[in-house]
Amino acid sequence: MAVTDPPQTPDREPSPGPLGGYVVLDLTRALAGPHAGMMLGDLGARVIKVETPGTGDDTRSWGPPFVGPEDDPQATYYLSCNRNKESIALDLKSEAGRSTLVDLIRRSDALLENFRTGVLDRLGFSVETLHEINPRLVILSITGFGHDGPEATRSGYDQIVQGEAGLMSLTGSGPEDPQRVGVPIADLLSGMYGAYGLLAALLERERTGKGQVVRTSLLAAVIGVHAFQGTRQTVAGQVPQAQGNHHPSIAPYGLFRCQGGSVQISVGNERLWRTFCTTVGLDPEDPDFATNADRVEHRDRLIQVIEQAFSTHPPADLLERLDAAGVPAGKVRSLDEVYSWDQVESQGLRLSVDHPILGPIDLPGPPLRFFETASGRETTRRTHSAPPLLDGDAESIRAWLDSAGHDRVRKVQS
């Protein structure tokens, strides 16, 4: 096969999307790796999830909430990160399980793993062995704190890494109130960075014909999004601290109380500041608020002045006035409000799938859309499959592997 040839998956139609025809072998569990695998499945790749017989992915038991029949409850946690995949259960400590895994590795373009450092080697599948089986294989390895270094052997759990990587020190009502982010952001970010790195390695393989290893970690992913907070420390020598719902470097930018609720505003330049003042009846010439730096310095007084101006206006009235003036503003929605929002629906961010036990269910949708340049036609994957039942696709996967073996025999004989 020429290095520019797309991967071939006989007797199975590629899913629409940029990765249609690629095969991804997902050995991961919990959230970081499965999220990466789901992202690749959303892009059209065929993602085959290898699970532990009997129990499967850890998240199958993470709940409540569980939904479905009492004798076969389904964890909504598992449903959140495993759409567009197939499942096969393999005992990787058995000869039969390892043999099937070898066949899968031969047929795959990429392999995802998030074992603790050294576990895959002990199972007999070191990086060297994987590339002996399939030199074109791209391997994504996600660990907690990195695959090497003095703390490489530590297990990676999201909240622990949020604390260790400084994120909790930036989040909360104040320095004495460290808070975790409301979703497992270290897991999710490492999955995103991992998928991004894997795609780059697949692109490079088209030039070189060779696979490689992509490594990331929960620690690296969180530090990778420190952004301006990171350079406040590394360049300015400051130690950023949590300060609630207000931006540390821009003012006014945050959550403000009003009559019967609250609104969020973002005033990012002097033109917007003057427009904002005119709209809500503030004095734009107040010397304490003359520049953004002044407003940041006098943030406490600024918040008091703005909330006093807002105190006689309900949220809907304020949002209407600010929107008409062109001042960025919004409300804090609950998740039921988010998923019933017509804008979310318009972006494909809520999708329906048919689950073999639960029937039709709605899932959060993928965040990317694709369009042809000339026609403007949307080419985003539109048909999605529900997260698979444990070992639910074993028969079809084994049939696919058997047909590939027969094809190789026929080619040799001819």
**Residues annotated catalytic, as ranges:** 187
Domain boundaries along the sequence of the chain = 23-225+348-413, 253-334
Position 15 scores a pLDDT of 63
**Higher local confidence (pLDDT), 5 or 231:** 231
Run of H or E residues at 345: helix 342-346
Run of H or E residues at 381: none
**Is the pLDDT confidence value at 411 over 70?**
no
**Is the pLDDT confidence value at 413 over 50?**
no
Q: How many residues does the chain have?
A: 414
CB 111 within 8 A of CB 80: no
Res. 7 pLDDT band, cuts 50 70 90: very low
Res. 197 pLDDT band, cuts 50 70 90: very high
Helix, strand, or coil here: 340?
coil
294-323 pLDDT per residue, tens: 999 999 999 999 999 999 999 999 999 999
pLDDT > 90 fraction of the chain, expressed in percent and rounded? 90
Q: Please, what is the average pLDDT of the chain? A: 93
233-255 pLDDT per residue, tens: 999 999 999 999 999 999 999 99
CB 59 within 8 A of CB 98: no
359-385 pLDDT per residue, tens: 999 999 999 999 999 999 998 988 999
Please state whether beta strands 138-143 and 74-75 pair in parallel, antiparallel, or not at all (unpaired).
unpaired
The CATH homologous superfamily to which domain 23-225+348-413 belongs is: Crotonobetainyl-coa:carnitine coa-transferase; domain 1 (3.40.50.10540)
Strand partners, 133: none
**Is the pLDDT confidence value at 412 over 50?**
no
Run of H or E residues at 135: none
Strand partners, 316: none
**Is the pLDDT confidence value at 11 over 90?**
no
Res. 138 pLDDT band, cuts 50 70 90: very high
The tokens for 336 are 């039921």
User: Which residue type does 112 have?
Assistant: L
Position 408 scores a pLDDT of 55
Residue 392 CA to residue 208 CA, distance in Å, equals: 36
Helix, strand, or coil here: 248?
coil
**Is the pLDDT confidence value at 9 over 50?**
no
87-133 pLDDT per residue, tens: 999 999 999 999 999 999 999 999 999 998 889 999 999 999 999 99
Burial class (CB in 10 A: 0-12, 13-18, 19+), 53: middle
CB 181 within 8 A of CB 167: yes
Neighbour tally for 399: CB within 10 Å: 11
Position 348 scores a pLDDT of 94
Phi and psi angles of residue 138, each rounded to the nearest 5 degrees, phi first: -100, 125
Position 397 scores a pLDDT of 97
Residue 14 CA to residue 45 CA, distance in Å, equals: 8
Please state whether beta strands 74-75 and 85-89 pair in parallel, antiparallel, or not at all (unpaired).
unpaired
329-364 pLDDT per residue, tens: 999 999 999 999 999 999 999 999 999 999 999 999
Position 5 scores a pLDDT of 41
Phi and psi angles of residue 223, each rounded to the nearest 5 degrees, phi first: -65, -30
CB 384 within 8 A of CB 353: yes
Name 119's Cβ contacts closer than 8 Å, sequence gap at least 6: none
Neighbour tally for 29: CB within 10 Å: 22
Q: How far is CA 131 from the centre of its chain?
A: 27
47-81 pLDDT per residue, tens: 999 999 999 999 999 999 999 999 999 999 999 99
Q: What is the DSSP letter of 88?
A: E
Q: What is 253-334's CATH topology? A: formyl-coa transferase, domain 3 (3.30.1540)
156-180 pLDDT per residue, tens: 999 999 999 999 999 999 999 999 9
Please state whether beta strands 261-266 and 253-258 pair in parallel, antiparallel, or not at all (unpaired).
antiparallel
Position 407 scores a pLDDT of 58
